[in-house]
Structure 1
Amino acid sequence: MSTRDLVLCALFAAIIVALGILPPITLGFIPVPITAQSLGVMMAGVVLGARRGTVAVLIVLVLVAIGLPVLSGGRGGLAAFAAPTSGFLMGWVLAAFTTGYLSERLVNADQNATMQAIGFFLAAMIGGIVVLYACGISYLALVGGLGFSKAFFGSMAFIPGDVIKAFVAALVGRAVMAGYPLLPARR
C-alpha cells in the first residue's frame, strides 16, 4: 500500500469517527441505535474500493479496541465488541469490502453520470444494508438472545434511513469520480 493509500484510509477512518459525533437515536424495542457511522462505511467502500475501504474500517475498529471513544455516543473499548450490537460493528468490515468490491465492478469512468450513481447506489445498498444487516441481525439474534424474527423485524425500522445513507454515499462517490480525477484507481 502506498503512502497515498494509507492517507486516504486514515481520512475515511476520520470521517467514520466524525460521523460518530452525532448522538445515537435509540428506538427502545431493539438495542441497536440509529447512528450516522454506517454512512461513513458505505462512503469508504464506494470511494476507496474494497481493499482501502476495508482498511479504513479496520483502523476505526482498532481505535475502538484500544479504548478511544470513537463510536456514536462516545463508546469505545473492548466492551463494544461484547455488546448485542457487536454484529453490526463487526459487519462494517464485510460491508465496506462488499460495497467497495461491487463499486469496483459496477462503476467505471466510461459510464455516464447516471449509470455511475446507480452503480454506486446498488453497491451501497447491497454492501451497506444487505451484508451489514445479515451480520448484525444474526449476531443480535444468536448472542443478544432476541430470536431471528424479533431481530429481523426490529431492524426493519432502520431501512428508510439506510436507503437515504446509500443514496448520499452514491452521490459522494459520483462527486469524487467527477471532481477528483487524481484519486488513484479504487482497486
Structure 2
Amino acid sequence: MKAKDITQIALMTAVIVILGMFPGIPLGFIPVPIVLQNMGVMLAGALLGPKKGTISVALFLILVAIGMPFMSGGNGGIACFMSPSAGYVIAWLFTPLLIGWAESRFNADHKPVLEFAFIWLFGVLFIDGVGAVWLAFATHITIGQSLIANLAFIPGDSIKTVATLLVAQALLKNKTVAAQLQ
C-alpha cells in the first residue's frame, strides 16, 4: 500500500470521526438516533472504492472498539457493538465495499442516476435493513415493527445520499483531486 493510499484512508476515517461530532437526533420511539456518520461511510465507498473505503471504515470501527469516543454523542468502546444501534454500525463495514463494488462493476462513474441508486441501495436500504434486524433482536420487538420504525430514517438518509453524491461528484470533477484518488 502506498503512502497516498494510507493518507486517503486516514482522511476518510477523519471525515467519519468529524461527522460523529454532530450530536444524534433522538427519535423517541426507538433507541437509535439520526446521525450524520453514515454519510461519511457512503462517501468512503463512493470516493475511495471498495478496498480503501472498507479499510477506512474498519479503522474507524477499530478505534471505536478500543474506546475512542468517535461515535455520535461522544460514545466509544465495545458497548457500541452491543447496543440497539450495533446492527447499523456493523453494516457500515460492508457499505463501502458494496457501493465501491457496484460502482466499478457497473461503471457508474459519470452516471449520476446509477451512482445515486447504488449509494441509496447500499448506504440506506442495506444499513437500515441490517440495523432493523439487530434492533428487533436487541429490543425484543418484531422485525416488522423494527422495519416500520426504520421508515423514519429513509427521508433523512435519502437527503444524505444526495449530499454524498454531490460531494463525490464535485471532488471527482476537480482534476487535481480526481488524480489523487486514482
Question: TM-score band, normalised by the shorter chain?
Answer: over 0.9
TM-score (norm 1): 0.91
How far off its partner does 1:120 sit?
A: 2.3
Instruction: Tell me the residue number matched to 2:63.
Output: 63
Count of matched residue positions in the alignment of Structure 1 and Structure 2:
180
User: Match of 2:23, SS?
Assistant: coil
Matches within 5 A, 1:46-125: 46-107=46-107, 111=110, 115=111, 117-125=112-120
**CA root-mean-square deviation:** 1.4
Indicate the percent of aligned positions where both proteins have the same amino acid.
36
What letter matches 1:52 in structure 2?
K
Instruction: Tell me the residue number matched to 2:11.
Output: 11
C-alpha contact (below 8 Å) 1:88/1:135 kept by paired residues: yes
Structure having the higher helix fraction is 2
Structure 2, unmatched stretches of 5+, are none
Question: How far, CA to CA, are the matches of 2:71 and 2:171 in structure 1?
Answer: 26
C-alpha contact (below 8 Å) 1:31/1:84 kept by paired residues: yes
TM-score (norm 2): 0.93
What letter matches 1:45 in structure 2?
G
How far off its partner does 1:176 sit?
A: 1.9
C-alpha contact (below 8 Å) 2:129/2:147 kept by paired residues: no
- Residue 41, structure 1, aligned to residue 16, structure 2: no
What letter matches 1:182 in structure 2?
A
Question: How far, CA to CA, are the matches of 1:151 and 1:2 in structure 2?
Answer: 43
Instruction: Tell me the residue number matched to 2:145.
Output: 150
Instruction: Tell me the residue number matched to 1:135.
Output: 130
* More displaced 10-residue stretch of structure 1: 12-21 or 2-11: 2-11
Question: How far, CA to CA, are the matches of 2:44 and 2:152 in structure 1?
Answer: 24
